[in-house]
A and B are shown apart, each in its own frame.
Chain A
Amino acid sequence: MLIGLEHYLILSAVLFAIGLYGALAKRNAIVILMSIEIMLSAVNIALVAFSRYVVPTLLTGQVFVIFILVVAAAEAAVGLAIIISLYRNRQTIETTDVDLMKW
């Protein structure tokens, strides 16, 4: 069976669903951040697959993936800095315990 665009897109959808479950259901803030990285990777796979199969010579999807990588790196740096300063101030990174702004 030949591998086509649908295979890559379904792989990407499965990966995104796993990341979505992790981001919604986990309590540890670092694991939530890791789930968000998984979701970004899923989107990257979908974009590269579209770029390869729909417009093979234009590379527009790959340019988008480069910008997503930049945003993911910035997000990881700032997110982990927030988590470390949170741990320093409250000695926990459980998201259920951080309810300062909860009504």
Chain B
Amino acid sequence: MGLTIAFWVLGIIIILGALSVVLLRNVFRAALALILCFVAVAGIFITLSADFLAAVQILVYIGGISILILLAIMLTREVQKGSPTNRLRIPALIVAIIFLGVVTYALVNTPWQISAVPPLEPTTPALADKLLGEGGYILPVEIAASLLLAAILGAIVLVREK
């Protein structure tokens, strides 16, 4: 029962936050709505018993990406001009609605094989074993590290004063 209430409340917050990101004219307010949306997504992760991912979502998205977006908005002074739509607003709306219809139809009509096993409760040790343990994902972890290094270097090179 509590899970049901939590899902509906968080789901409504997520949808409203995402809609305000897309519809608000003030870019700064849109970024704040995006932060609200990310917090609610972390809550959704908790209802799916993914506790580690909820913490990582708050750390990376709210602590990192949102601050970066707010800084970029302040550095580019586009707040006054707002965020108008381009000429393709109606076609984009049609594409999004068609996408939503097709995906919802496919989701509802697919017989998913739901497992009745209860989920792992503290997921952190199991995830560490998956990522770093024997026969796990150690190679992708190393590649992710080099990707992050390349992204940091690229960002520094791009914004450096000539």
CA distance A102 to B119 in the complex (A): 51
In the complex, the answer to whether B65 meets A76 with C-beta atoms within 8 Å is yes
CA distance A70 to B148 in the complex (A): 7
**How many residues of B are counted as interface, with CB atoms below 8 angstroms from the partner's CB atoms?**
85
**How many residues of A are counted as interface, with CB atoms below 8 angstroms from the partner's CB atoms?**
73
Interface of B is mostly: helix
User: Among the interface residues A7, A31, A41, which one has the most CB atoms of the partner chain B within 10 A?
Assistant: A31
B residues near A (Cβ < 8 Å) are 3-4, 7, 11, 14-15, 18-19, 21-22, 27, 30-31, 34, 37-38, 41, 44-45, 47-50, 52-53, 56-57, 60-61, 64-65, 68-69, 71-73, 75-76, 78, 81-86, 88-89, 91-93, 95-97, 99-100, 103-104, 107-108, 112-115, 117-120, 123, 126-127, 130-131, 137, 140, 144, 147-148, 150-152, 154-156, 158-159
Q: List 21 A-B contacts (CB under 8 A).
A: A7-B7, A19-B18, A20-B99, A21-B93, A26-B86, A27-B86, A28-B84, A34-B21, A38-B34, A51-B50, A56-B118, A59-B127, A60-B130, A66-B53, A66-B56, A69-B56, A72-B61, A72-B65, A74-B150, A76-B68, A80-B72
